[in-house]
Structures are given as structure tokens and as C-alpha cells.
Amino acid sequence: MTALNPSKTVAIIGAGTMGAGIAQVAAAAGHPVLLYDVSDGASHAAIVKIGKGLERLVERGKIAREEAQAITGRITPANDLEALSEATLVVEAIVENLEVKKDLFAKLEDIVAEDAILSTNTSSISVTSIARDLRFPARVAGLHFFNPAPVMKLVEIVSSQMTNPAIAETLFDTATEWGKIAVHARSTPGFIVNRVARPFYAEALRLYEEQVADPATLDALMKGAGGYRMGPFELMDLIGNDVNYAVSLSVFNSYYQDPRFRPSLLQLELVNAGYLGRKSGRGFYDYSEGAEKPATQPEIAPVGTTPLGGFSIGTDTEVEGVQITMSDGRMASEVAQDLGRPVILHDYFAEGATMLGFTVSDGVPDSFVARFVAKLSEDGLAAVRLPDWPGLVVLRTVSMLANEGFEASLQGVANETDIDLAMRYGVNHPQGPVGRAREIGLSRVLSVLDSLLRLTGDPRYRASFALRKIAQHD
């Protein structure tokens, strides 16, 4: 292990939410911590706030009071940058502005020892650009925590073109010692999480724009069938539509307007209207006092309907002349024509699912659909009937997430294992996108993408060569 010894001093620059959170994490690991902020009194106020947060944990029985006091006791406010001279590791957590960060690191080079590690918590700025003009750029790397830092497990260790691999390993091992899930990433726009997560929002927005379903239904399917903790529209409202749109636009522009990252005009209109989400009282949902959140209305079979027998959901089965199978990206009308019989296509659903989307081709009797819905209900699944649409909802979204994961791996941003870990622990996805795609079957995922590309003509759905190459041997 090359983790920093807990006796080594860690300096945090920026006493805002992220800086204070990182200071708490380092102090909890036993390090003396120096906390500096350009605003007078900000560091002291942050330490007080940390103490109040820890006191709430004490009251809930999560930690002992002695431990809470020890943590805050290890954090010392620094009056100026020169006070950070003894730091072995510096973590910058200031405003997301390249020139401001470059100026700060240039000053730090004249203050800290030549073997001190300089790191940045940036979520969007090139680490290479930050380090480029320094005398010792090899000691600079990204140490990207997620908010709130004491709670969120993931830390992205981001290497620039110049970062010494030994520095990256030290940061990786140190973050691990601090109780975090560390992953390596190359300095590219969005790193891992902010890049690979884009389809979670983008496909929901496209489905809404295409009038496949409303936000409440799409959220319900992603949670009830996909196993996600929050639906994409709920999450965008929580993050703030202005923030989420800005990140999407930044990634889009950083990748030279690659169609895979195209932002949503619908979301832009919400931002233009001031409908930013929870913080403004209205976003995709109304958060004003007394407002009721729209509820999804699943299909209900008529009373007395006999559940359809002779099949188990998730298997490819013909029942009474109707094919029941999971979507492979083609429309139900296409599958029915190819098979020469009517079909019911259902969406992907994860283990423990409580909901399932489906669509039907022409020729499926209403009575058969009712019996199918009754069977799903018998199996504990609420049925949501969708238009005949390529990829349906969950399968389309997870296929796009997987595609971005494979593309990031192909481009050397991170390996498949770290991509999956990052998505699980950075945005709380139930599975990593690559692992989930392998569970579904890479050939099916590839078929979904190819069908979407063929039917829409939109290059955002082009399959990663990495996915195509591996799927050929799947």
C-alpha cells in the first residue's frame, strides 16, 4: 500500500460544501487537516457546521461523541496559503474556473514541498490544463469526490497526460484507506460518471419528447422495472434542471458536439421558464404546497379475468398463437411480420421488479391482453402498456448506458470494472452498465442500438465498436 500515513497533514482549499466534506473525511481517517478559504471566517464556519453534523450522528447513535470531537479537533482553519506549507497532500475544491485554479496551483508550488501531492476536486475541467504550466505537473491529479463527500463512496482518481502513475496510485490507496471506493480515470470531459450517466437523463427526455409516456410513468418504470432508486425526472428536479442541462451542454461541447451527448431542448425550455426543480418549486413536477405528484396508471384487467397460463415472464414463448418475448429493439409490428404471428413485446426488468412495460402488435385480441395483464398482476408486476416503440423504455436506456460504458472503455478513459464501480457508487445505479449489459446479453443490447439507429436515423444511437466486437463473440 502507498496510502499516506495518517500522521501526514492534508490541506483543503475551499470551505464550501465539498471542501468541508473532504476535510471531514480526511480528519475522520486520522489526518491533521488545514482548511483554507479566501473568504474571512469561512473555514471557521465550516468547522462549526461539520461539528453540528457530527453531533446529529452522535444523537442517532452512529458515532461516539469522543470520535466526533476528535474529528473536528483535527481540523484547523488556515489564515493564508502560506500556512499550508507543511501539507503532504493538498486538495483544491474552489470555483470551477480554469484560470483561477491555475493561478492557485502556481502559488502553491512556491509554498509546499516539492514532493507534496497537488490534487483538484474538479468535476468538469481538464486536469491536464490545470497542471500544464506548473514546474512539476507530474504531481498533479484529480481527486474527485461526490456530494456529500462524507456519505458518497466514490472517488475518481483522474490522471492527466503528465501525472506520475505513482502519484495516482498513492491517491487511489489513500482514498481506499479513507473508506472510499476509488477508481482510476483518464482526464477526459466528464471523467467516468458525468460522461457515462448522460443517457440516463437523455433517453428519458427523448422518450418524453417523443410522447411515449409522461415523466411520472417513465420514472415509475425506471424504478419499478429498472431497479433505480430515483427516476430520471425526479433526479433532474433534485439536481436542478439548470445544473443538469449545463453539465449536458458542457459534455456535448467538450466532445465537439458528438450527437451522443446532445442536450434536450425540452429541458432548456424548463430552464428558460425558471422551472429548475425542487429549489424553484417547480420542474418536471410541481413542488408547491399541497401539490399532488402525478401517479402512474397501470393497466387493470377486468374483474374475473383468468390469468394467462402457459408461459413465464422473461421467457420467449408462443401462447395461443401469440409470441410473448422481451424486446430486442425492433418494433412489435416488425417482429410480428418476421414471425408471421402477432406478438407482445415486454421491456427489460431487473430482479425484484414490481412493474413492467409492454407493447402489442396488431392481431392480439383485447381479451388476450387482459389475461396477460392479469398474469403479470398474479406475478406481482404492475403492467404499463406503451406505444409500439423501438427499445421501449428501460431496455433502451440501459442499452445506451452500456454503449457509453463500452465506448469509454474503448477510449481508455477507464477499464470496465472501474466504470461499473463508478456508476454504482457515484450515482447509485443498481448495477454497472457493462455488467448489466452482459446479463441482458450483448447481442440484444447491440440489436436495440442498431434498431434505434435504423429507425430514427439519429447517429446518437451508433453502437460502440467495442460493444459490437465483443457482442460478435457473446
Closest by Cα among 90, 280, 120 to 185: 120
CA gap 376, 361 in Å, rounded: 18
The amino acid present at 91, given as its one-letter code, is: V
Which positions are catalytic?
123, 144, 156, 194
Q: How many CB atoms lie within 10 A of CB 257?
A: 9
Q: In what order do the strands lie in the sheet with 343-346?
A: 317-319, 322-326, 343-346, 355-360, 382-385
Handedness of CA 176, 178, 183, 188 (dihedral sign): negative
* Main-chain dihedrals φ then ψ at residue 12, nearest 5 degrees: -115, 130
Exposed, middle or buried, 39 (CB in 10 Å: 0-12/13-18/19+)? exposed
Query: Which residue is it, cell 434536450?
Result: 264
Q: Report yes or no: 203 and 37 within 8 Å, Cβ to Cβ.
A: no
Q: Report yes or no: 102 and 133 within 8 Å, Cβ to Cβ.
A: yes
Query: Which residue is it, cell 501526514?
Result: 8
Which residues, at least 6 apart from 41, have a Cβ–Cβ distance to it below 8 Å?
A: none
- Strand, helix or coil for residue 171: helix
Q: Report yes or no: 102 and 114 within 8 Å, Cβ to Cβ.
A: no
Question: How many CA atoms within 13 Å lie on the side-chain side of 80?
Answer: 3
